[in-house]
């Protein structure tokens, strides 16, 4: 089962700036070999369910190891069995509708 997942990890108890923890999660995703793309409020990830979820768990482990006593994460995730859909497909589908408003 493939999954498209949007991950937002929020470390608590480490002050107001959290970018070094987010950077560490980017490294986890890169090392996992997963297709991923950071945006302003999270990181989109594409892959097999078990691989993606293992990376999410690893992010929590790494952020705790860096010293964050508590983490509150928000995730959106989508699966579908009617067709195979990539990150790019989702974006392209909306952009086509935007360029052909009459269709």
- As to burial, measured by CB atoms within 10 angstroms (0-12 exposed, 13-18 middle, 19+ buried), residue 36 is buried
Q: How far is the CB of 14 from a second copy (least distance, A)?
A: 9
Q: How far is the CB of 81 from a second copy (least distance, A)?
A: 5
3-state secondary structure of 61: helix
Q: How far is the CB of 97 from a second copy (least distance, A)?
A: 4
Residue 6: count other Cβ atoms within 10 Å of its Cβ: 17
Q: Are strands 35-39 and 2-12 parallel, antiparallel or unpaired?
A: unpaired
**Does 94 engage in binding with a second copy (CB under 8 A)?**
yes
Count of residues engaged in binding a second copy, rule: CB under 8 A: 55
* Positive/negative CA dihedral, 76, 87, 78, 28: negative
Longest Cα–Cα distance of the chain, Å, equals: 53
- Per-residue x/- track, 32-51, a second copy (CB under 8 A): -----xxxxxx-x----x--
Residues that bind a second copy (CB under 8 A): 1, 4-6, 8, 10, 12-13, 15-20, 22-23, 26-27, 37-42, 44, 49, 53, 57, 60-61, 64, 69-82, 87, 90-91, 93-98, 101
């Amino acid at each position: 089962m493939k999954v498209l997942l949007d991950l937002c990890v929020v470390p608590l108890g480490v002050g107001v700036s959290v970018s070094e923890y987010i950077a560490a999660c980017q490294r986890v995703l890169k090392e996992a070999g997963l297709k991923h793309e950071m945006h302003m409020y999270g990181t989109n990830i594409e892959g097999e369910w078990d691989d993606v979820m293992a990376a999410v768990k690893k992010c929590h482990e790494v952020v705790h190891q860096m010293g964050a006593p508590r983490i509150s994460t928000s995730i959106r995730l989508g699966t579908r069995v009617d067709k195979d859909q990539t990150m790019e497909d989702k974006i392209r589908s909306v952009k086509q509708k935007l360029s052909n408003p009459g269709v």
